[in-house]
């Protein structure tokens, strides 16, 4: 853990930071993986990772320091070059050769400690200090502040005496070293460990083997036969979907046993007289040779004593060897330990650092193999000491979470270094808080925490643990009676969390929110919040000085709060408004009434209960006497929902305002043009514009037709509108007519100001119990209209827009989570899923939306099942959990008609039933109602739930019907439901379809995990660099783009540490750029990191990981690592089959890739299976006339040509030619190419026929010229691979390049204009779409997540 002192929370004393990779609080990063906080630009994360690998003694590896140069580039934004070049120092440690280490002046002394604790030859030391010329260096001083430290200085490692704390740290560190290859922490989801399987498929490191080795490989390429046949289940058309290959056994995991047992002895703690001899604690060890020994840890080190299991004798035993390190002592007494420990450490340092660094938030795996439960003293001790703060080994020092969360927000943020430091501190505290809150929530539900109101019934109880406040998602004291009771109480926490996320993002100085985490665990929802200082001593009525505690009966306001909230109102589109309280007084608010303001004892202004930050969704809130627009009523709205807390998403509010802004500009432009046209007839022009203002309805909720016209309007029209905006702004309303125009346009679009465009929402409209003063009735009426328009906009623009994007393949969801993400980006709540599916069904391009329909139905079924499971699980006591879960899964997925639940009491018989205790953990009723559920009943409930919640009627009564009707896969449903409910099941093959025995037994349910929702703070500066880098790339300035993105990578590393989703995107783009610029080794190195990171932070079978595998395979192929490329592609195909199945547009791309590589290694028959499948899938999803299909035909034709089956080849190439001719015309180069190829094929066919005839005529004596069947060259295969993956290289001269850049710049300006227009419809504003028209050869357009820097201008 590398923490800076300046960033240490006040509560945690500075020595906290010394924990050696302490695995604590989920952030024990082994080694100095987290870049030092002030290493601004000159160190890339890989520099410190490099040191961590002990890379300093060896020559720097190719993916090492060469990435750290962009520091010198002033990026035109802010120059943040703190260019202190690194230098090297010599380290003298006892017992080994001196070695040199590269360091940077901004590093702290403690980071050198971290590196030494991770190096293979010094990893067994933890308790030492560094001395320079006899003076001890302070742990927390920066290297540049150390006098006399320069290039070539010698640092001596001096062993220090142990204390109890240091001895414990040492034992813990040794245990971590012994367990370093053991994946059980990743399977169990603890300490931010997660799985990665890339190394299984690449056989070690990709680019790191050094030039000599890859040279050997290249030479041996042609000779080595590669076994390319994939396992049966990966081939196209296979129906088998095995589960076991998901987590292949990594041979490194068969751990080398160094010791049988290492545990704390029962003789601890030392008695007083032994304490005075320096004994700190006793350990008990059983060596691999079965020798039992007792070890004393003393201030001077470790030695054997004469105690046995039953007899205490602290005197030293022979050999009387005192060692400062436990490892050295064990080396001495156990030869097996010595041998195996050395091998283990060698393997440990060979692993890629990204395989072992902790992730910022815990990732859980839904499957795990059967693991032996091994003895582990540290794990056992952690479970039973009060694991409070993240410094577990200093009990009693809990962290004041609230103070830490708020102080980090108060850090200065004037310049870039300050902002980086601040963002980094915020991110760090948030991830620690999330880990602590998750652990606390599980402890609460498991019944390990005492309630603060123990006398009340379990639903009402509240808890405090580790300075975090926990409450359960039930309607306590009828608080939500008018909003839907328990259902409302269940959704309120997530709404509140969204509010917290939003206010945090606006980041107004002086306004504070609470740390909030929402945890779903065992059917309960727990909200964890940091505690406002002083809130527990006071009554809530006294504390609230702004807002209302009873939903609007009594309302108070406060000038300071109004001032603070006013600053958030513009970005959040919130209207400042007045309401009446119970004494008929007008109170002014700038938020919804439930939002409460409390000044803590620390004098900070907190806001909480942000559950109605966004305006209500009228489609799900029937209000008597209010008519919704026609688009809504047509779709069957308003529908009563289970609760009245349905809000629009922030993304929707933003899209709606954007849409209105375009409308506003159009109206203004229209009127100004009319005015210009009739300068003389001013009067008429005003009359012309008056209908607009008198009946705003016609303009206001523009249906789809307005939208389509919008897309037709050319860039020039938009440029005019922009120009108008500027003239309007510069006018200052000097011209009364233009002021009139603006007033009319404002009125037409519902702007709250009449002089400028400004749309805001009043979140209290339609809120039960809130009353508005008479004077505001007109405003309230306008606000109601605005809400209705927003509800209509969601149905008439956003949902059709989503479906259109899916037809155009602008977005390619692959599973439920990615579909949900795509919906949410457009502001569509999940409760509209039924409506989205209805639209898909009615779409003329229904077949091209087949994949969306399947994913949607699967999501609908698993979400409905999740709702049922939640209440089902609340009635289960702890001892029956695995039986209950396996019974539920049997009813949900197994074809076995009548599974019987095993009640938990069958293992043991208790003598007498104890009386029921009043204080049970929540839900521990003696309830066996769950055991009588049948599959028929469950599926009936699922269909009913789908109807009630999503308004969609499912036509199925059993799982088999569902699978049959909708083309689903049971394994996919199992994955989706397990991820949603947090269940981990055993990795084995399940026979879902057996009618003779149920698929699951209770032994198959291994664990139940929490599902955690939290705020994830962003690195804003890094993100801006990333975006400007992307923009540069799209203009064709690759080098500059590359530098900016490298810069972004540095800043991301600075804020997030080494592992994060956004760093993954950064690495992916860098790899692609290096590939395009021809630097394959660098591309490989970056893409390998991207794959590892995606596996670690998103999950081993997340759709994003599948994409990363495909990119990596391409770069491997380009680097001539053919067998690796194939095994990566096979892995991607297996994962896609598991996650979705075969029938997906991405599968066409993947199969084309596999087919091409197989063609390259002359496996023609196998290649054809994949290419023909790709052709079929492309034809289905892109239409038989698409350019993609033409390309697919061409690829198939090439393989037939290689097989000398010219008739088939001609047939396919003709198909392709026809498509090119109709789509692109006779003169297009593609059409010409195809026609040339046809001629060539015909000639070959004729030649072959001649030869055959010759043979028939002359028999065996025929004189036959040998036929030339050429294997395709690697270059031609690579060229085709680039084409299908959307990468184009253009051979250009310097002059061409200049022209191209000018052209691209011109185009970019046009696009900027149109992009401003399309922003509302843009799939993902963060990573803009490719510039220029999509490649004409039908190459795959990138998934929205992957901006394609294809270079066509």
Express each pLDDT in 1037-1069 by its tens digit.
888 999 999 999 999 999 999 999 999 999 999
Higher local confidence (pLDDT), 632 or 70:
632
With tokens 């938020």, the residue in question is: 591
- Contact status, residue 823 vs residue 651, Cβ threshold 8 Å: no
pLDDT above 60 (res 9): no
What 3 state SS string does 1022-1064 have?
HHHHHHHHHHHHHCCCHHHHHHHHHHHHHHHHHHHCCCCHHHH
Highest mean pLDDT among 22-26, 350-354, 1106-1110: 1106-1110
Burial class from Cβ neighbours inside 10 Å (0-12, 13-18, 19+) for residue 713 reads middle
pLDDT above 50 (res 83): no
Higher local confidence (pLDDT), 853 or 747:
853
User: Which one-letter DSSP state was computed for residue 157?
Assistant: E
The residues that bridge with 89 in the sheet, in sequence order, are 101
The predicted model gives 194-211 an average pLDDT of 71
- Contact status, residue 186 vs residue 1095, Cβ threshold 8 Å: no
Say what the pLDDT of residue 635 is. Answer: 92
Pairing mode of beta strands 596-599, 605-608: antiparallel
pLDDT above 50 (res 945): yes
The predicted model gives 98-107 an average pLDDT of 87
Per-residue pLDDT reduced to its tens digit, 1129-1138: 999 999 999 9
* CA 851 and chain centroid, separation: 22
pLDDT above 70 (res 417): yes
CA distance 25 to 19: 11
With tokens 């947090």, the residue in question is: 982
Q: What are the backbone angles phi and psi of residue 998, rounded to the nearest 5°?
A: -65, 155
pLDDT confidence tier of residue 67, bands split at 50, 70 and 90: very low
CA distance 742 to 1280: 55
Least confident of 805-814, 897-906, 995-1004: 897-906
pLDDT above 90 (res 672): no
CA distance 411 to 843: 53
CA distance 1054 to 1050: 6
- Contact status, residue 236 vs residue 185, Cβ threshold 8 Å: no
Tokens (6 digits) for 1155: 């087919």
pLDDT confidence tier of residue 253, bands split at 50, 70 and 90: low
Bond from prior residue into 638 cis (ω within 30 degrees of 0):
yes
The residues that bridge with 525 in the sheet, in sequence order, are 520
- Average per-residue pLDDT for the chain: 82
Residues 607-642 as b or e (16 or more Cβ within 10 Å = b): bbbbbbbbbbbbbbbeeeeeebbebbeebebbbebb
- Cβ atoms within 10 A of the Cβ of 991, count? 13
Residues 46-65 as b or e (16 or more Cβ within 10 Å = b): bbbbbbbbbbbeeeebbbbb
CB neighbour list of residue 559: distance below 8 Å, 6 or more residues apart: none
pLDDT confidence tier of residue 843, bands split at 50, 70 and 90: very high
pTM above 0.95, yes or no: no
The predicted model gives 119-136 an average pLDDT of 90
CB neighbour list of residue 1068: distance below 8 Å, 6 or more residues apart: 1086, 1087, 1090, 1108, 1111, 1346
Say what the pLDDT of residue 1290 is. Answer: 53
pLDDT confidence tier of residue 433, bands split at 50, 70 and 90: very high
Say what the pLDDT of residue 1264 is. Answer: 58
CA distance 1012 to 431: 12
The predicted model gives 732-760 an average pLDDT of 82
pLDDT above 60 (res 12): no
Say what the pLDDT of residue 181 is. Answer: 83
The predicted model gives 953-963 an average pLDDT of 94
pLDDT above 50 (res 566): yes
Q: What is the DSSP string of 45-90?
A: HHHHHHHHTTTTTSPPPTTSGGGG-GGG---SS---------EEEE
CA distance 180 to 168: 18
Say what the pLDDT of residue 540 is. Answer: 62
Nearest to 105 by CA among 6, 7, 37, 39: 39
Say what the pLDDT of residue 1301 is. Answer: 65
Say what the pLDDT of residue 1175 is. Answer: 97
Highest mean pLDDT among 542-551, 640-649, 704-713, 1243-1252: 640-649
CA distance 321 to 186: 37
Cα distance from N-terminal residue to C-terminal residue, the chain: 47
CA distance 1114 to 1153: 8
Say what the pLDDT of residue 307 is. Answer: 93
């Amino acid at each position: 853990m590398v923490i800076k002192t300046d960033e240490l929370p006040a509560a945690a004393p500075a020595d906290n930071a010394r924990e050696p990779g302490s695995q604590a609080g989920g952030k024990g990063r082994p080694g100095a993986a987290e870049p030092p906080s002030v290493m601004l630009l000159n160190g890339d994360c890989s520099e410190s990772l490099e040191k961590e690998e002990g890379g300093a003694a060896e020559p720097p590896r190719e993916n090492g320091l060469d990435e750290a140069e962009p520091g010198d580039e002033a990026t035109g934004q802010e120059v943040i070059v703190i260019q202190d070049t690194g230098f090297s120092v010599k380290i003298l440690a006892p017992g080994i050769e001196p070695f040199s280490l590269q360091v940077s002046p901004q590093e702290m002394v403690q980071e050198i400690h971290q590196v030494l604790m991770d190096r293979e030859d010094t990893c067994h030391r933890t308790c030492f200090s560094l001395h320079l010329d006899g003076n001890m260096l302070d742990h927390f001083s920066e290297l540049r502040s150390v006098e006399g430290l320069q290039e070539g200085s010698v640092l001596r490692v001096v062993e220090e005496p142990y204390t109890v704390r240091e001895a414990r740290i040492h034992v813990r560190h040794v245990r971590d070293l012994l367990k370093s290859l053991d994946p059980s922490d990743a399977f169990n989801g603890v300490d931010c460990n997660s799985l990665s399987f890339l190394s299984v498929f690449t056989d070690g490191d990709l680019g790191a083997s050094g030039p000599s080795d890859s040279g050997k490989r290249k030479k041996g390429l042609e000779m080595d036969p590669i076994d390319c046949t994939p396992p049966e289940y990966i081939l196209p058309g296979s129906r088998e979907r095995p589960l076991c290959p998901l987590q292949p056994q990594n041979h490194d995991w068969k751990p080398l046993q160094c010791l049988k047992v290492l545990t704390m002895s029962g003789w601890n703690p030392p008695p007083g007289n032994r304490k005075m001899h320096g004994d700190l604690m006793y350990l008990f060890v059983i060596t691999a040779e079965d020798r039992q020994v007792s070890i004393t840890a003393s201030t001077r080190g470790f030695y054997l004593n004469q105690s046995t299991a039953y007899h205490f004798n602290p005197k030293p035993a022979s050999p009387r060897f005192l060692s400062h390190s436990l490892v050295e002592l064990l080396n001495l007494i156990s030869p097996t330990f010595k041998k195996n420990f050395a091998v283990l450490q060698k393997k440990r340092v060979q692993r890629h650092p990204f395989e072992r660094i902790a992730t910022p938030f815990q990732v859980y795996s839904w499957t795990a193999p059967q693991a032996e439960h091994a003895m582990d003293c540290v794990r056992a001790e952690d479970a039973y000491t009060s694991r409070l703060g993240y410094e577990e080994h200093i009990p009693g020092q809990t962290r004041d979470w609230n103070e830490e969360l708020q102080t980090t927000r108060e850090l200065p943020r004037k310049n870039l270094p300050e902002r980086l430091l601040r963002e980094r501190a915020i991110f760090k505290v948030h991830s620690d808080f999330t880990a602590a809150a998750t652990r606390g929530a599980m402890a609460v539900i498991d019944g390990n925490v005492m309630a603060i109101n123990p006398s009340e019934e379990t639903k009402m109880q509240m808890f405090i643990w580790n300075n975090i406040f926990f409450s359960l998602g039930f309607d306590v004291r009828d608080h939500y009676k008018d909003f839907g009771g328990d259902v409302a109480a269940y959704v309120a926490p997530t709404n509140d969390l969204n509010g917290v996320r939003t206010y945090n993002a606006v980041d107004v100085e002086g306004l504070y929110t609470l740390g909030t985490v929402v945890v779903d665990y065992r059917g309960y929802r727990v909200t964890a919040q940091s505690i406002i200082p002083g809130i527990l001593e006071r009554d809530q009525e006294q504390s609230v000085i702004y807002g209302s505690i009873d939903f609007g009966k009594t309302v108070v306001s406060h000038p300071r709060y109004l001032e603070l909230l006013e600053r958030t109102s513009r970005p959040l589109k919130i209207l400042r408004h007045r309401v009446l309280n119970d004494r008929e007084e007008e109170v002014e608010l700038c938020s919804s009434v439930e939002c409460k303001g409390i000044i803590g004892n620390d004098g900070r202004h907190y806001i909480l209960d942000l559950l109605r930050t966004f305006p209500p969704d009228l489609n799900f809130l029937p209000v008597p006497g209010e008519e919704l627009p026609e688009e809504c009523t047509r779709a069957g709205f308003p529908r009563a929902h289970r609760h009245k807390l349905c809000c629009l998403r922030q993304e929707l509010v933003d899209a709606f305002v954007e849409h209105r802004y375009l409308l506003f500009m159009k109206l203004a432009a229209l009127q100004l043009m009319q005015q210009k046209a009739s300068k003389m007839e001013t009067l008429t022009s005003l009359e012309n514009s008056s209908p607009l203002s008198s009946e705003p309805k016609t303009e206001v909720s523009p249906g789809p037709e307005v939208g389509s016209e919008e897309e037709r309007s050319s860039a020039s029209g938009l440029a005019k509108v922009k120009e108008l905006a500027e003239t309007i702004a510069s006018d200052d309303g000097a011209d009364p007519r233009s002021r009139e125009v603006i007033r009319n346009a404002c009125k037409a679009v519902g702007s709250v100001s009449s002089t400028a465009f400004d749309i805001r929402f009043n979140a209290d409209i339609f809120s039960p119990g809130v009353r508005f003063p008479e004077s505001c009735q007109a405003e309230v009426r306008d606000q109601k209209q605005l809400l209705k328009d927003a509800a209509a906009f969601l149905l008439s623009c956003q949902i059709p827009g989503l479906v259109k994007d899916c037809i155009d393949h602008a977005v390619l969801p692959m599973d439920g989570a990615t579909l949900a993400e795509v919906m949410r980006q457009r502001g569509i709540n999940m409760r509209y899923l039924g409506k989205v599916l209805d639209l898909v069904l009615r779409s003329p391009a229904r077949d091209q939306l087949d994949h969306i329909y399947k994913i949607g139905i699967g999501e609908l079924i698993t979400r409905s099942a999740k709702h049922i499971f939640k209440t089902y699980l609340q009635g289960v006591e702890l001892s029956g959990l695995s039986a209950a879960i396996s019974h539920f899964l049997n009813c949900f997925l197994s074809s076995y008609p009548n599974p019987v639940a095993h009640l938990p009491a069958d293992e043991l018989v208790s003598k007498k039933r104890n009386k029921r205790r009043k204080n049970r953990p929540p839900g521990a009723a003696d309830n066996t109602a769950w055991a009588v559920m049948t599959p028929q009943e469950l599926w009936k409930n699922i269909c009913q739930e789908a109807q009630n919640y999503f308004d969609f009627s499912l036509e199925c009564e059993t799982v088999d019907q569902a699978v049959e009707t909708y083309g689903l896969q049971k394994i996919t449903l199992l994955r989706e439901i397990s991820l949603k409910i947090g269940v981990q099941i055993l990795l084995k093959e399940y026979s879902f379809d057996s009618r003779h025995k149920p698929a699951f037994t209770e032994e198959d349910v291994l664990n139940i995990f929490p599902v955690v929702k939290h705020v994830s703070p962003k690195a804003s500066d890094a993100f801006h660099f990333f975006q400007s880098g992307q923009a540069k790339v799209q203009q064709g300035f690759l080098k500059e783009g590359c530098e900016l993105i490298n810069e972004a990578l540095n800043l991301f590393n600075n804020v997030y540490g080494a592992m994060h989703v956004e760093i993954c995107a950064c690495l992916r783009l860098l790899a692609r750029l290096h590939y395009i610029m021809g630097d394959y080794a660098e591309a490989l190195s970056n893409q390998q990191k991207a794959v590892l990171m995606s596996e670690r932070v998103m999950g081993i079978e997340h759709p994003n990981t599948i994409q990363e595998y495909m990119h990596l395979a391409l770069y491997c192929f380009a680097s001539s690592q053919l067998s690796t490329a194939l095994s990566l592609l096979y892995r991607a195909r297996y994962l896609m089959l598991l996650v979705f199945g075969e029938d997906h547009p991405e599968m066409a791309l993947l199969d084309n890739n596999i087919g091409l590589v197989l063609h390259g290694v002359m496996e023609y028959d196998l290649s054809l299976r994949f290419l023909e499948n790709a052709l079929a899938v492309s034809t289905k999803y892109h239409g038989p006339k698409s350019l993609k299909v033409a390309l697919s035909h061409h690829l198939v034709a090439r393989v037939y040509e290689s097989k000398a089956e010219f008739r088939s080849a001609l047939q396919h190439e003709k198909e392709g030619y026809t498509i090119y001719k109709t789509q692109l015309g006779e003169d297009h180069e593609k059409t010409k190419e195809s026609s040339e190829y046809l001629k060539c094929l015909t000639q070959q066919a004729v030649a072959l026929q001649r030869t055959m005839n010759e043979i028939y005529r002359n028999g065996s004596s025929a004189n036959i010229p040998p036929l030339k069947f050429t294997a395709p060259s690697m270059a031609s295969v690579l060229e085709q691979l680039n084409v299908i993956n959307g990468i184009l290289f253009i051979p250009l001269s310097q002059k061409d390049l200049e022209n191209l850049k000018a052209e691209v710049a011109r185009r970019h300006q046009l696009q900027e204009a149109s992009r401003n227009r399309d922003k509302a419809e843009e799939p993902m504003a963060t990573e803009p779409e490719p510039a220029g028209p999509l490649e004409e050869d039908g190459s795959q357009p990138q998934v929205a997540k992957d901006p394609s820097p294809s270079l066509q201008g």
